[in-house]
Every structure is written in C-alpha cells, then in structure tokens.
Amino acid sequence: MTSGTSNTIEIDLFTALEDKGLRKTSARSAVLTRIESANDAFTAEQLCRDLPEVGRATVYRTIRHLVDAGALCKLPILDGAPMYSIARIEHHHHTICSKCGAIGEFRHSTVERVMRSLGKEIDGEIVGHRMEIFIICKRCLSGTNDGG
C-alpha cells in the first residue's frame, strides 16, 4: 500500500507560493511537505498541531496564499473551522459529509450549464463560482464509520 513511487499527482505547491512572491523558507517547506502528505482534508489548527516548530502565523499565511493560488480548496464546514484540501483537478466542486467531514470532489456538466445560464440573469459578469454539497456519506449511512 505504501510502495507507490510515481502514481502520486504532481502538485507544485512551491511554484504556487513563488507565484505569490513568497520565498522558500524551511518553515514554509515544512508546511508544504505536511500538506502534500495529507490524504484527507485538514484544518489550519491540525497543521499547527502537527507542526509545533512552525509559527501559527506562518501556517495560516501559507494556507491563505495556497488558496489564493488555487492550489488548495477552502471548504466551509457546517459547524466548525474551514477545512482545506489539495486541488487535484482544475475546476471542481465538493461534497462534504456533515457527520464525519469526509470530502469528495466532483465535476458535473449540468452544474456548469446551470451556472452559465444563470449568468444571463445576473446583473454583472460572473468570474467564478463555488459549490459545496453537504451529504451524509455512504460509510456514515451504513453505520460502518466509527468516527465521531
């Protein structure tokens, strides 16, 4: 399970930061390495806890720049701090389990079509949109999820 070498998606978080004019420091490297190794969505507080040697301000600022650069998705959670996940595909939307917090990504042409036709009725030019769908995930529905 842990032997994979080349099947990980290459996400250049460093480039995203450099595009924002931020130099590579050891503190930022630690944050990026931790984010790259994350399989699930995380909160800024979790990162701070995992990286006690990095200042909170650096963690929060790095996350904010990555969100700005489109490398991280910021996900609102119904009853808690926002979570972040690496943007693995370019334009997508999210499902968020309101019980366990599991995040899914999806793309759907119908959604994009609705957004485009909405644009005709909106007074102004739409330059982007976000959509999060709150669900109870299959694992929670089936009761096989021990979490929470």
Can you give the binding site for Zn ion, defined by CB under 5 A? 73, 87, 97, 99-100, 102, 105, 137, 140
Q: Report the nearest approach of Zn ion to the CB of residue 111 (Å).
A: 5
Q: What is the rounded distance in angstroms from the CA atom of residue 89 to the CA atom of residue 91?
A: 6
Closest to Zn ion by CB, 53 or 121: 121
Closest to Zn ion by CB, 32 or 54: 32
Q: Report the nearest approach of Zn ion to the CB of residue 129 (Å).
A: 6
Q: What is the rounded distance in angstroms from the CA atom of residue 72 to the CA atom of residue 77?
A: 15
Closest to Zn ion by CB, 59 or 73: 73
Q: Report the nearest approach of Zn ion to the CB of residue 22 (Å).
A: 22
Q: Report the nearest approach of Zn ion to the CB of residue 140 (Å).
A: 3
Q: Report the nearest approach of Zn ion to the CB of residue 6 (Å).
A: 23
Q: What is the rounded distance in angstroms from the CA atom of residue 23 to the CA atom of residue 1?
A: 34
Closest to Zn ion by CB, 3 or 142: 142
Q: What is the rounded distance in angstroms from the CA atom of residue 46 to the CA atom of residue 141?
A: 26
Q: What is the rounded distance in angstroms from the CA atom of residue 135 to the CA atom of residue 101?
A: 9
> Cβ distance 144 to 137 under 8 Å?
no
Closest to Zn ion by CB, 51 or 100: 100
Q: What is the rounded distance in angstroms from the CA atom of residue 83 to the CA atom of residue 127?
A: 23
> Cβ distance 134 to 106 under 8 Å?
no
